[in-house]
Amino acid sequence: MIEARAIWTDKERFLGEAASGHATVVDAGAEKTASSPVELVLIALCACTSVDVVGILKKKREPFTSLEVRAKAERSEEHPKIFTSIKLIYRVGGKVTRKAMEDAVRLSKDKYCSVSAMLQTSAKIDYEIEYADAHEHEKLPDQK
Q: How far is 75 from 98, CA to CA, in rounded Å? A: 31
- How confident is the model at residue 67, as a pLDDT? 98
Q: What is the residue range of 13's domain?
A: 1-34
Q: How far is 135 from 92, CA to CA, in rounded Å? A: 13
- How confident is the model at residue 133, as a pLDDT? 80
pLDDT digits (tens, 9 = 90+) for 93-113: 999 999 999 999 999 999 999
- How confident is the model at residue 92, as a pLDDT? 98
Cα Rg of the chain, angstroms: 18
Total domains, the chain? 2
Is the pTM for the entire model greater than 0.85?
A: yes
Residues 4 and 18: beta-carbon distance below 8 Å: yes
Q: Are residues 18 and 75 in the same domain?
A: no
* Mean pLDDT confidence for 1-26: 97
Q: Are residues 116 and 89 in the same domain?
A: yes
* Mean pLDDT confidence for 112-141: 84
CATH number at residue 19: 2.20.25
Q: Are residues 19 and 47 in the same domain?
A: no
